[in-house]
Chain A
Amino acid sequence: MGGIHPAENKLTHEVATKVAALPKQAIFPLGQHIGAPAKPVVQKGDKVKVGTMIAEAGGFVSAPIFSSVSGTVFKIDTAIDATGYRKPVIIINVEGDEWEESIDRSDKLELVAAHPELTPEEIVKRVQNAGVVGMGGACFPTFIKLTPPPTAKAECVIINAVECEPYITADYRLMMEHADEILVGLELLMIGAKVTKGYIGIETNKPAAIELLTKKCDEKFNIAGSKFNVEVVPLKQRYPQGGEKQLVDAVINRQVPAPPAIPVNVGAIVQNVGTAFAVYEAVMKNKPLFERYTTVTGKKLQNPGNFLVRMGTPMKDLIDACGGMPEGDNKLLAGGPMMGKALTSVEVPICKGTNSVTIISDDEARRKDAQPCIRCAKCVGVCPMGLEPYLLAKLSEVKNWERAESEDITSCIECGSCQYTCPAYRPLLDNIRLGKSTVMGIIRARAAAKK
């Protein structure tokens, strides 16, 4: 249903991942996942190592945060994060590179068969304790997804390897460079979720990854005596296919109903390839989540590339490693051009969900003036949720919240396809977001009043 085909601009597809240099100072926002912010467990002046927990989970829906560097806690303060606001952070001055001894730093591939202690509960516990969250950008704590509510029953794990955002190639590089680890991660996810069926959804613009993973899955899972069956599903390119609901629909042909339903209500647990890799490292290597694959890209950037980055590294360091910020006016994005957040500062650090640092330059960075809606209906045609963006935007403009609610504004996934396609350059999603958050507030207030 719906969808668009934005220019791919995958400039860094064949650029092998480099290890990013250590920053001088690392910044750790306490709220870099969905849910309650983490609570600091270190104080100014404390010595930390790579992998030391610096903040614990601040509630059930939350995740602990680990230091990615060794050094001294400089201060617990506020700094501008991806939202543009000053938020609580822990800042650590980097000294050397000393790791916690409990972390297995070897390259040896650990297999599940050698670890009989890995019960589903043990896997979920380790994933929780390592602070693993969804690495595709949404940052929902992974252990919660693995323990669905009693009303739903998981039937399969779907690995999201779609990477339908333009520019970003971090997941692709990870697949090409660490396919074995990802498959062990998938195995752990399947054990943790108590299912035996797995899928890997990949768009057909990544034929090498499809071939590689199909071969590896056939050798590892799809053999006589294997408990598991994993299917690599090549998908026709279409944005926003990497959206959770869209992917479940594309892979197992089931549509997740409107909120509050989630994918597991139709039997699917969706995890990003980066998350599968993080799960492998957390469970098998005892390595908490403190580094990730990130693409640093832009048409005017001198040497765009893919990096293995310690979280907390300011974006400026990475941009400088790629030749520095291009001349002229730029838009700096955490994420890709369709759903990424425009940043107000180059000092914003890489977080758990930062899959890309994208720089859009000059004219592409500016919006054109909006013209009158000509009712061409193209926004209706591309909406992947079957909504009418022109109508929702208008209802938000005139503050008709009741009608906006009855027109299902809360189903909007904010993919931006409508605004991308609008020939009149109307700020459709801006208005819909405003309406959506207002309507969600009204719904919450109503629910609270009932209690």
Chain B
Amino acid sequence: MSKLIVSLSPHAHSRDSIERNMYGVIIALMPALLASFYFFGLGAVIVTATSVAACCFFEWAICKYILKRQQNTLLDGSAIITGLLLAFNVPSNLPIWIILIGALFAIGVAKFTFGGLGNNIFNPALVGRAALLVAFPAQMTTWPKIGQWDTYLDAETGATPLSIINSAIRMGDASLLEQLPSSFDLFLGSSSGGAGAMGEICALALLLGLAFMLYNRIITWHIPVSILGTAFVFSGLLHLANPVYPDPFTVLLTGGMMLGAIFMATDYVTSPMTPKGQLIYGVAIGFLTVVIRNWGAYPEGMSFAILIMNAFTPLINNYVKPKRFGEVSK
């Protein structure tokens, strides 16, 4: 005799799943990953593989042996994303043991001390990066030049566009900015002699990922557009006021701006829940990034701006509500 199944409505489901969204983000990261392999060669492959494997291992091990959970979250894809994003944020000549420490910080400290997937306050990959930056400032701020296919630890390093900008501002000498690659080169990542973190080198690849995620409704436009828009307008005004500040196109195309706006700030767990809240969050990140870059101690401000706003996300969720149906605007 067949059974009648009883439950409350709704009885239909979109068949969307955590896995579909997570693996969607991973697919969206592929162009940038291939670009990093293309520009940084062997080092990029080793760093990425180590970071992803380490993040997955820590996720699995903590789930199984420390929390003793029935449901292991290894396969939901979130640890892979953390691994990829951590790798994207570090130099391609970073020693393996440092990467392992970063992965442990990302998964163990930033994610699982708060309860694992869905509960972390701060973006795990960014916490991993921030920890490494504080603990290993030398290794974390020397960046290999692009185009060294078969090197890893012994890669030749060089100045990143951001460090050029930083010294221009500090010395008040706008002529230093002439050393910067053209916006077009920055867009493709093909600047001769350019250097930087693995995942941020090619804006085009990151934008392809953004298009994929928007098309598949994995994320909405609010966060990336508000970050990039704010950074563009704010740095544009600064550039007009004083040409020692770089032009807004350069600002958008250098450092972690694109990577942060598209993949890091849009992390579901650590970003606000309402479109209005997401816009506030995005505008604040765009603004803080430019402030930190221009007047802070570090040449790059993206990851700190995101971490700061991560901390404000619960507050934003608390006060920024969607417009209720039928609500009369006051």
Q: Which candidate, B84-92, B116-124, B173-181, is the interface stretch facing chain A?
A: B116-124
Given contacts A377-B274, A378-B16, contact A386 B8 (CB under 8 A): no
- Residue of A166, A330, A407 touching B5 (CB-CB under 8 A): A330
Interface string of A412-430 (1 = CB under 8 A from B): 0011110111111101011
Given contacts A342-B5, A342-B7, contact A385 B269 (CB under 8 A): no
B9 in the interface (beta carbon within 8 A): yes
Nearest-neighbour CB distance to chain B for A233, whole angstroms, equals 19
Q: Which candidate, A63-71, A114-122, A253-261, is the interface stretch facing chain B?
A: A253-261
Interface string of A308-339 (1 = CB under 8 A from B): 00000000000000000101111111010111
Q: Which candidate, B29-37, B98-106, B247-255, B318-326, is the interface stretch facing chain A?
A: B318-326
A148 in the interface (beta carbon within 8 A): no
Complex Cα distance, B8 from A335, in Å, reads: 12
B154 in the interface (beta carbon within 8 A): no
The answer to whether A1 touches B325, judged by C-beta atoms less than 8 angstroms apart, is yes
The secondary-structure label for the interface of chain A is loop
The answer to whether A257 touches B328, judged by C-beta atoms less than 8 angstroms apart, is yes
Which B-chain residue is minimally distant from A369 (CB atoms)? B71
B13 in the interface (beta carbon within 8 A): yes
Residues of chain B with a CB closer than 8 A to A366's CB:
5
The answer to whether A166 touches B18, judged by C-beta atoms less than 8 angstroms apart, is no
The answer to whether A329 touches B5, judged by C-beta atoms less than 8 angstroms apart, is yes
The answer to whether B13 touches A425, judged by C-beta atoms less than 8 angstroms apart, is yes
The answer to whether A372 touches B7, judged by C-beta atoms less than 8 angstroms apart, is no
B327 in the interface (beta carbon within 8 A): yes
- Residue of A4, A257, A331, A380 touching B322 (CB-CB under 8 A): A380
Complex Cα distance, B7 from A337, in Å, reads: 11
Complex Cα distance, B9 from A333, in Å, reads: 9
Given contacts A261-B326, A330-B2, contact A367 B12 (CB under 8 A): no
The answer to whether A255 touches B10, judged by C-beta atoms less than 8 angstroms apart, is no
Complex Cα distance, B94 from A13, in Å, reads: 63
Which A-chain residue is minimally distant from B20 (CB atoms)? A423
Range, interface on chain A = 35 or more
Given contacts A329-B3, A331-B4, A388-B322, contact A423 B11 (CB under 8 A): no
The answer to whether B7 touches A374, judged by C-beta atoms less than 8 angstroms apart, is no
Complex Cα distance, B278 from A406, in Å, reads: 22
B66 in the interface (beta carbon within 8 A): no
The answer to whether A341 touches B9, judged by C-beta atoms less than 8 angstroms apart, is yes
Q: Which of B58-82 contact A (CB under 8 A)?
A: 71, 73, 76, 78
- Residue of A256, A335, A376 touching B268 (CB-CB under 8 A): A376
Q: Which of A253-311 contact B (CB under 8 A)?
A: 255-258, 261
The answer to whether A416 touches B9, judged by C-beta atoms less than 8 angstroms apart, is yes
Complex Cα distance, B7 from A387, in Å, reads: 23
Q: Which of A238-264 contact B (CB under 8 A)?
A: 245, 249, 255-258, 261
The answer to whether A337 touches B220, judged by C-beta atoms less than 8 angstroms apart, is no
Residues of chain A with a CB closer than 8 A to B325's CB:
1, 245, 249, 255-256, 258, 384-386, 411
Complex Cα distance, B20 from A327, in Å, reads: 31
B190 in the interface (beta carbon within 8 A): no
Interface string of A73-85 (1 = CB under 8 A from B): 0000000000010
The answer to whether A385 touches B324, judged by C-beta atoms less than 8 angstroms apart, is yes
Nearest-neighbour CB distance to chain B for A283, whole angstroms, equals 33
A360 in the interface (beta carbon within 8 A): yes
The answer to whether A375 touches B118, judged by C-beta atoms less than 8 angstroms apart, is yes
The answer to whether B2 touches A327, judged by C-beta atoms less than 8 angstroms apart, is yes
The answer to whether B269 touches A375, judged by C-beta atoms less than 8 angstroms apart, is yes
Nearest-neighbour CB distance to chain A for B15, whole angstroms, equals 9
The answer to whether A376 touches B9, judged by C-beta atoms less than 8 angstroms apart, is no
B139 in the interface (beta carbon within 8 A): no
Residues of chain A with a CB closer than 8 A to B17's CB:
423-425
Residues of chain A with a CB closer than 8 A to B4's CB:
329-332, 342-346
- Residue of B2, B6, B273 touching A344 (CB-CB under 8 A): B6
Residues of chain B with a CB closer than 8 A to A367's CB:
7, 13
Complex Cα distance, B119 from A372, in Å, reads: 9
The answer to whether B274 touches A388, judged by C-beta atoms less than 8 angstroms apart, is yes
B113 in the interface (beta carbon within 8 A): no
Binding site for A on B (CB under 8 A): 2-14, 16-18, 20-21, 71, 73, 76, 78, 116-119, 220, 268-269, 271-275, 278, 317, 321-328
18 further A-B contacts with Cβ under 8 Å, apart from A341-B9, A346-B4, A375-B273, are A4-B14, A6-B14, A245-B326, A255-B325, A257-B326, A327-B2, A337-B12, A338-B10, A360-B12, A371-B18, A374-B269, A375-B269, A376-B21, A377-B274, A386-B324, A391-B317, A423-B16, A423-B20
Q: List 25 A-B contacts (CB under 8 A).
A: A1-B323, A6-B12, A166-B12, A245-B326, A261-B326, A329-B4, A332-B4, A337-B9, A337-B10, A342-B4, A343-B6, A360-B12, A367-B7, A369-B71, A372-B73, A375-B118, A375-B269, A375-B271, A377-B268, A380-B274, A384-B325, A411-B325, A411-B326, A423-B16, A427-B8
Nearest 3 Cβ contacts at the A-B interface: A416-B10, A372-B118, A337-B12
